[in-house]
């Protein structure tokens, strides 16, 4: 049950992160705070879900995911400092996360395929 709550919280934080990044152009004073809280929520989720297997490629993907998670609070700091580099930081983090999602899915399917093959 706690795992489901953690996933729901991740989904909510992700949506708020997206909305606050888009809403930044409205220049509302509370948008950076929403971005900071939701970015921290996404980062905490990503940092507290480590990979515990033995696949070297998945371990490397977990390191890339960790880097992307750390970049979210950094982009929040840059947003508070009113530096436009926060957009670049967010973009790189998003690219890393998208790459990790697709490659992890492919790698897990490849690993499952090896496990399901009959032994000779």
Domain ranges of the chain: 2-111
More confident call, 118 vs 49:
49
Q: 3-state secondary structure string, 70-115?
A: HHHHHHHHHHHCCCCHHHHHHHHHHHHHHHHHHHHHHHHHHHHHHH
Measured CA to CA, the distance from residue 38 to residue 72 in angstroms comes to 9
* This prediction's pTM: 0.85
Task: For residue 23, name the pLDDT band (cuts at 50, 70, 90).
Answer: very high
Instruction: Report whether pLDDT(119) > 70.
Output: no
pLDDT-derived band at 120, boundaries 50, 70, 90: very low
- Of 89 and 115, the structure prediction assigns the larger pLDDT to 89
- The candidate with the shortest Cα–Cα distance to 94, out of 30, 41, 42, is 42
Predicted confidence at residue 48, as pLDDT, reads 93
What pLDDT is recorded for position 50? 85
Q: What are 26-78's pLDDT values in tens digits?
A: 989 999 999 999 999 999 999 998 888 888 999 999 999 999 999 999 999 99
């Amino acid at each position: 049950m706690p795992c489901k709550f953690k996933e729901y919280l991740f989904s909510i934080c992700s949506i708020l992160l997206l909305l606050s990044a888009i809403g930044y152009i409205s220049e509302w004073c509370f948008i950076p705070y929403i971005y900071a809280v939701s970015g921290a929520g996404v980062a905490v989720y990503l940092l507290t879900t480590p990979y515990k297997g033995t696949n070297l490629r998945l371990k490397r993907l977990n390191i890339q995911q960790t880097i992307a998670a750390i970049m979210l609070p950094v982009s929040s700091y840059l947003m508070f400092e009113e530096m436009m580099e926060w957009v670049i930081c967010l973009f790189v983090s998003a690219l890393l996360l998208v790459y990790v999602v697709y490659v992890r899915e492919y790698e897990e399917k490849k690993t499952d395929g090896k496990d399901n093959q009959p032994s000779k």
